[in-house]
């Protein structure tokens, strides 16, 4: 029983640290316009296509092409955080 209590306490403490760290990251990334992520993704597509035209750069073309989904996902996350905020769960818990 004591082990469950200490495990729950540790999980809460880690959640609090993760929350403050997440807020710090989101505060910094919210300064970046969402169009930057789209621009980087389109630029990665163009660079990947350019590298693919070279016989010796096929590996680099694939590597750069793999950046596109990650950049778009970061852009979507950034947009959601700007619109909805990351602390919606905390606000609803405070109201109850």
User: What are the boundaries of each domain within the chain?
Assistant: 1-31, 32-96
Task: Check residues 90 and 73 and name the one with the higher pLDDT.
Answer: 73
Q: Is the pLDDT of residue 86 over 90?
A: no
Instruction: Read off the pLDDT of residues 43-82 as tens digits, 9 standing for 90 and up.
Output: 999 999 999 998 888 999 999 999 999 999 999 988 888 8
Q: How far is CA 52 from CA 10, 58, 63, 92, in A?
A: 49, 5, 11, 50
Cα–Cα distance between 85 and 34 in angstroms, integer?
15
Using 50, 70 and 90 to split pLDDT, how confident is the model at 22? confident
pTM for the whole thing?
0.65
């Amino acid at each position: 029983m004591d082990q469950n209590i200490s495990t729950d306490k540790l999980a809460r403490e880690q959640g609090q640290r993760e929350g403050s760290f997440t807020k710090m990251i989101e505060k910094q990334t919210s300064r970046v316009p969402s169009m930057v992520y789209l621009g980087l993704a389109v630029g990665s597509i163009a660079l990947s296509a350019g590298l693919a035209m070279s016989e010796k750069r096929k590996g680099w073309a694939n590597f750069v092409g793999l950046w596109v989904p990650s950049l778009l996902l970061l852009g979507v996350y950034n947009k959601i955080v700007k619109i909805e905020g990351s602390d919606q769960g905390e606000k609803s818990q405070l109201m109850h």
